[in-house]
Structure 1
């Protein structure tokens, strides 16, 4: 029988005339003692990261959180009592943060890109995932590992990796490896795309579409767009958010594929993933509400702050699982796959940008 959560106990305590059993109170206290240490540590670290990154705006809080977590995990021995709270952040808070990411998206802005650019976005995501999966199979990389890399590199970086993990339930080492690769290769694109766009003589619109369609993380796109200029930055961010919207149908397609391929035994055991994860539906709902224009700008600013806090906390928690010894054991194949995926997506995006803005 499943154990009641703390929220269940609170709900019961609000029922008039129904006292809470002492054993349930003890379990609620045990829940608190289990999660609170990790949550408190995460809160302190996130506060320090946000204060630092606001002073130095060129630094992404999400990327900084991953690096801080990874450094902490390899320098000190994180106590076992901290880990349940970190796992809560890496799973629960991340899904809430991804859902709130929908409040950054307006379907009007995305449709305003025009059919040609929207087709580029679709091709980059679909062909990017397909090409990465095919190349990964040729390299002998496992299905879940190459799927996480494909989603992260083709859609929206670490958030896509973690969201895909919520559907396929990959090994922790595979998730952390994929996130580490997203950070490394996305950061490399920050240094590569602006001078390359200048060397190729690309106009602002073309370079903006290229950056938004090629770069992995939203924060990395902002960094690239800022280096390219104001017009390119605006286009790049909207193109990137169009890729983010495709996270929902991609995860639904993955879930549908898994349900189709499951054996009768696993289906009978109730191991089917939901056709569309709840946090993906919440993401679409947030995007739909934002598109109506009824949310005040002050509320949107608050939601953006909350989303940043939640995703920063999740990235720190995920970063604490990065062990250099474990990464050393993964071998060269995922790194080769990440290199090939980055080149493939970047070239698709460049070709599409040139055609769409011709």
Structure 2
């Protein structure tokens, strides 16, 4: 019996029994990716990216059974939203206050300017709105998580999502390796370096890795600055959803209201106001990582390599431009704020 069928109809999940085959597959891919990351201890080896790549490989090397389709679709939608809500337990409003007004200004201006610049550059390069928007979100906010979250209102194709995540992974990893080497020549102290890192690196893991590479103080500032940036994902998604509904974008109807973002904000509020035990927070963060990794594995299983190749190098060029812009602008603003 083949693993996959490329011609079977897409079925809606209507019972646990129908979901189990697909969910078992994406869970297996996610767990394998997480074990690999822990075994290597590399912050650059994101389990979400590894799971997506494994899913793409499986999708394009063997035909998938139609029995897997309901579970894969469930992971791409319901599990994704659950993972994003649980991301809120990594943050508190107190952490935002620690960054200070000048630090928050650096983060907010960098995020908005990078998003708008990337969208404009995508239009100049002749790219689809959806792909440009996903690359913009991943670069300006928080990498793969932002790409997945924003796609709930952008409604890009699976290949758009895969390409956007590839861009933020490549260029974010380059920054993680290069930033510690640049801190000395640029004359950045621990606080300035940490703010630059948190305001410009793509993934949380990349920002944390690059921050602590320059010491404990720099790592703490980078982590808080990056998490403060993640909070801005909520207003960004609401704004994009409102704009899409106003413009009638979204593939045959008004874009949905991203109500799950309210859950994300509520999780931040709970984590800020209640003394949650460490084991509960660690559990929520672990489940969030697992759900998002499963969602990316499912995304990979729906991605055709041939369609990625057909997009050419222009999306990669856009990712490079966005990377240089966010790095340069954040550095300039940090230097000006000192």
**TM-score, normalised by the number of residues in structure 1:** 0.85
1:212, 1:235 within 8 Å by CA — same for their partners in 2?
Answer: yes
Deviations 1:256-285 (A, max 9, x none): 11222239xx9xx9x33344x111000000
In the other structure, the counterpart of 1:273 is 255
Give the deviation of 1:29 after TM superposition. Answer: 10
In the other structure, the counterpart of 1:121 is 107
Correspondences of 1:1-358 after superposition (within 5 Å) = 31-58=15-42, 59-262=45-248, 271-275=253-257, 277-356=258-337, 358=338
Give the deviation of 1:40 after TM superposition. Answer: 1.0
In the other structure, the counterpart of 1:16 is none
Q: 2:135 and 2:13 mapped to 1: Cα distance?
A: 39
Q: 1:230 to 1:144 in 2, by over 3 A?
A: same
Q: Unpaired segments of 5 or more residues in structure 2?
A: 1-10
Give the deviation of 1:55 after TM superposition. Answer: 2.8
Give the deviation of 1:355 after TM superposition. Answer: 2.4
In the other structure, the counterpart of 2:8 is none
Q: CA RMSD in A?
A: 2.2
Deviations 1:133-177 (A, max 9, x none): 111111111212111111111011111111111012222222222
Give the deviation of 1:322 after TM superposition. Answer: 3.7
Q: 1:29 to 1:38 in 2, by over 3 A?
A: closer
Q: 1:173 to 1:51 in 2, by over 3 A?
A: closer
1:176, 1:321 within 8 Å by CA — same for their partners in 2?
Answer: no
Q: 1:182 and 1:247 mapped to 2: Cα distance?
A: 16
Greater CA drift, 208-217 or 291-300: 291-300
Q: 2:130 and 2:28 mapped to 1: Cα distance?
A: 33
Q: 1:62 and 1:69 mapped to 2: Cα distance?
A: 11
1:50, 1:61 within 8 Å by CA — same for their partners in 2?
Answer: yes
Q: 1:200 to 1:33 in 2, by over 3 A?
A: same
In the other structure, the counterpart of 2:4 is none
Deviations 1:197-220 (A, max 9, x none): 233232111111111111111122
Give the deviation of 1:194 after TM superposition. Answer: 1.6
Which SS does the other structure have where 1:112 is aligned?
helix
Q: 1:312 and 1:247 mapped to 2: Cα distance?
A: 19
2:138, 2:144 within 8 Å by CA — same for their partners in 1?
Answer: yes
Q: 1:300 and 1:246 mapped to 2: Cα distance?
A: 21
Deviations 1:101-153 (A, max 9, x none): 01111111111111110000100111011111111111111212111111111
Q: Which one has a bigger Cα radius of gyration?
A: 1
2:13, 2:70 within 8 Å by CA — same for their partners in 1?
Answer: no
Which SS does the other structure have where 2:213 is aligned?
helix
Give the deviation of 1:30 after TM superposition. Answer: 6.5
Q: 2:35 and 2:122 mapped to 1: Cα distance?
A: 40
Q: 1:68 to 1:171 in 2, by over 3 A?
A: closer
Q: Unpaired segments of 5 or more residues in structure 1?
A: 1-26
Equivalent pairs, count: 325
Q: 1:29 and 1:161 mapped to 2: Cα distance?
A: 24
